[in-house]
Amino acid sequence: MTEAPFHSAIADGPEGGYARWLQATDGVQIRAGHWPLATAKGTVFLLPGRTEYIEKYGRAARDLAQRGYATLTVDVRGQGLADRALDDPMLGHVRDFAEYQRDMEALISFARAEGLAEPWFLMGHSMGGAIALRALMGRHPFKAVAFSAPMWGILMSALMRPMALVMGHAARAMGFDHRAVPGSREATYVLAVPFVGNTLTTDAEMWNYMRQQALVVPALTLAGPSLGWLQAALAECRALAALPAPDLA
């Protein structure tokens, strides 16, 4: 665990935030971000959505600190400053969502080594909601969990769904699952579209916050997903839907 870059000015989080490099069991380097709190009554693990990164959660960490909680978040593989799988760094790619569980294991190991304030709570947003739910299916250290717009399915038309499945399988079989999903953007969303009509937020201040981060540190950003990521995401959503709800008792 070595010191990693941490852009506190654009994060606008609580005082004392820092980042560390972690290494997953398969050798992939990810980045953990921690906002400690001297009087913390626990630590919230925030798992980000697709394209997101540590600094985007600075204000969320500030809100949690005001309520008495420290925050730990992460650049999962392929996002933020973590290792990216493809030559094109703007293209999000994994072959299997099990890869994200290796990142989760590294994050938990870091929290234990650092002795982060307990109890621990888990919050997953969007793609992070799928990662969080999968983590809860086995042994885990979390007292409670919350989900924000969890990615337990991917919205697409009834016509597009079978086409996406066929395309994903064909891409993997033919060796081009590293290519972008047709029609996906080549730039990160907040720089590619105007605020009016965007599908992320109705909060202009939050939009400007995200946009400014992307402009100041473009290396944090990510654009569209690969065909491989889409196939892996659809497979994980189907698998999670077939499982019983996890037991947090």
Domain-embedded: residue 14 = yes
* CATH number, position 157: 3.40.50.1820
3-state secondary structure of 71: strand
Domain-embedded: residue 246 = no
Domain containing 13: what range? 2-241
Residue 71 to residue 52: CA distance in whole angstroms: 16
Burial class (CB in 10 A: 0-12, 13-18, 19+), 207: middle
DSSP string, 100-123: HHHHHHHHHHHHHHHT--SSEEEE
Residue of 96, 119, 173, 144 lying closest to 248 (CA atoms): 144
Domain-embedded: residue 247 = no
3-state secondary structure of 180: strand
Residues 135 and 104 sit within 8 Å (Cβ to Cβ): yes
Domain-embedded: residue 249 = no
Amino acid 92 reads G
Domain-embedded: residue 20 = yes
**pLDDT reported for residue 26:** 98
Domain-embedded: residue 231 = yes
Report the greatest alpha carbon distance in the chain: 55
- Alpha helices, H only, the chain: 8-11, 58-66, 98-114, 127-136, 160-174, 189-192, 204-216, 227-241
The number of domains in the chain is: 1
**pLDDT reported for residue 9:** 98
Domain-embedded: residue 204 = yes
Residues 6+ apart with CB under 8 A from 70: 34, 35, 36, 37, 40, 42, 43, 44, 64, 116, 117
Helix axes 98-114, 127-136, angle to 10 degrees: 70
| Helix/strand/coil percent split, the chain, to 5 | 40, 15, 45
Residues 179 and 223 sit within 8 Å (Cβ to Cβ): no
Give, for all 249 residues of the chain, the pLDDT tens digit: 899 999 999 999 999 999 999 999 999 999 999 999 999 999 999 999 999 999 999 999 999 999 999 999 999 999 999 999 999 999 999 999 999 999 999 999 999 999 999 999 999 999 999 999 999 999 999 999 999 999 999 887 777 777 777 776 776 777 778 888 887 888 999 999 999 999 999 999 999 999 999 999 999 999 999 999 999 999 999 999 999 999 886
Domain-embedded: residue 192 = yes
- Cα pseudo-dihedral 24, 7, 195, 83, rounded to 10: -20
